[in-house]
């Protein structure tokens, strides 16, 4: 299991370094030191995932206030999925088995809910 997590973490870091190369090419004002410190980008990705994940509650609150009853809009599930995927990526990079398990279970539930919603709409 440790070897698998190490491989996945290294792969994520390689993708991030490639991404930083593209960013520095597109935005030459960015410091080249980002290439030597991919953890800065990963921390930004981690916070981005948390922001996406947290945004789902704001979306749900705003939509519920709009109709004056508690509802769960589709955007809630999409924020959950994209936030969960981003946090899972961060957890895999950190090799944090607790967060990995939590995000995998959550992603399964969010995807299943979307499947049920689309299945219901078809009929």
Tens digits of pLDDT across the chain (123 residues) = 789 999 999 999 999 999 999 999 999 998 888 888 888 889 999 999 999 999 999 999 999 999 999 999 999 999 999 999 999 999 999 999 999 999 999 999 999 999 999 999 887
pTM for the structure as a whole: 0.86
DSSP conformation class of 71 = -
Three-class SS state of 99: helix
Buried b (16+ CB within 10 A) or exposed e, 8-18: ebeebeeebee
For residue 89, give Cα distances in angstroms to 22, 74, 85, 106: 20, 23, 6, 14
Determine how many CB atoms are found less than 10 A away from the CB of residue 81.
19
């Amino acid at each position: 299991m440790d070897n698998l997590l190490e491989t996945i973490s290294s792969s994520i870091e390689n993708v991030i370094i490639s991404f930083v190369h593209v960013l520095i090419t597109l935005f030459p004002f960015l410091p080249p030191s980002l290439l030597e410190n991919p953890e800065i980008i990963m921390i930004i990705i981690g916070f981005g995932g948390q922001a996406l994940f947290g945004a789902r509650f704001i979306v749900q609150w705003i939509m519920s206030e709009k109709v004056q009853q508690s509802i769960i809009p589709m955007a809630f599930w999409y924020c959950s999925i994209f936030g969960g995927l981003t946090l899972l990526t961060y957890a895999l990079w950190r090799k944090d088995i607790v967060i990995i398990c939590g995000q995998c279970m959550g992603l399964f539930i969010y995807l299943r809910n979307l499947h049920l919603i689309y299945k219901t709409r078809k009929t």
